[in-house]
Amino acid sequence: MSLTTALARLLIFPGLLFAVPAAWFFLWVERKAVALMQGRIGPPFMQPFYDFIKLLGKDVPVREGIGGLLMKAWPLLAVSSAAGAVALLPVLPAQGGFQGDLILLLALLEVPSMCIIAAGFSSRSIFGEIGSAREAVLSVSYNIVFLLAILSIAVSQHTFRLEALAGLPATPLRWLGVAALLACLPAKLHINPFSLPNAEQEIYAGPMTEYAGHELAMWELAHGLEWVAATGLVATLAAPRFALWWLAALAFVALSFAVVLLLAVLASATARLAIDTTVRFYWHCTLIFAVLAISSALIMRFRS
């Protein structure tokens, strides 16, 4: 991949120019779906855009010293890494990519959550620290399942290249991995029943408690981009193959949309669990699932 195509992918498609409206759209779909489930009309179509612009126009409290600089840096780092993760998604077939881009995508997907942990601790707010501690515990428990699920898919199909993975036919093992991924997404995107780190009202706003104005707008944007990247990853692995490029792109977008709807329905149907229940869920139930997936993937690999 040359520098020009890499820049085009990062900035235009499927990078920032495409991903930012997509992020707002997904945030709206989530809120609207929850509203419809509760029998109300819900926010207007442009609501995430209004929120973002309004936050850009608000004052930011003056913070001094290295702590203040760090607090400014975390949201920018989160946004740029989430945008980079989106840019790696093979939305259009035959777009390029390189061996090992799956590993880079996983690493970039992990950066926003690390930024949230660091932001909560550097804000020095007690609520931020509680939220960060919860995020750290949560990410340790769901990430093992998340990584094992992806690893089992990659190992069974002999490649760490996203585009090659997307092109290969789906096996039963792949569906098992996708199901494990879906189980991790609510925790990764901080929605019910695993909305523990931000836990609205319960611990004020968690790691975001001290953020205001354009910094908060960047966090919102990073969250939206995480939605696009995470649902896009599932769509890449689960979308059916089509020869026509526009049909493939359409299938990708439709599948991401379906995943967002599924997660929104789950979020509105459940209440927040306690941290110990959540951790137990990931360690007991889904870890067994993921270990089964990876061991069968390894066996398949040595047999073939």
Q: Which residues bind another protein (CB under 8 A)?
A: 31, 35, 38-44, 46-47, 49-51, 53-54, 57-61, 127, 200-206, 208-213, 216
CB of 52 to another protein, least distance (A): 8
CB of 40 to another protein, least distance (A): 4
Give the nearer residue to another protein in terms of CB position, either 72 or 300: 72
CB of 133 to another protein, least distance (A): 17
Give the nearer residue to another protein in terms of CB position, either 268 or 296: 268
Give the nearer residue to another protein in terms of CB position, either 123 or 141: 123
CB of 35 to another protein, least distance (A): 6
CB of 227 to another protein, least distance (A): 17
Give the nearer residue to another protein in terms of CB position, either 81 or 209: 209
- Burial class of residue 35 in the structure, from the number of CB atoms within 10 Å of its CB (0-12 exposed, 13-18 middle, 19+ buried): middle
Give the nearer residue to another protein in terms of CB position, either 36 or 253: 36
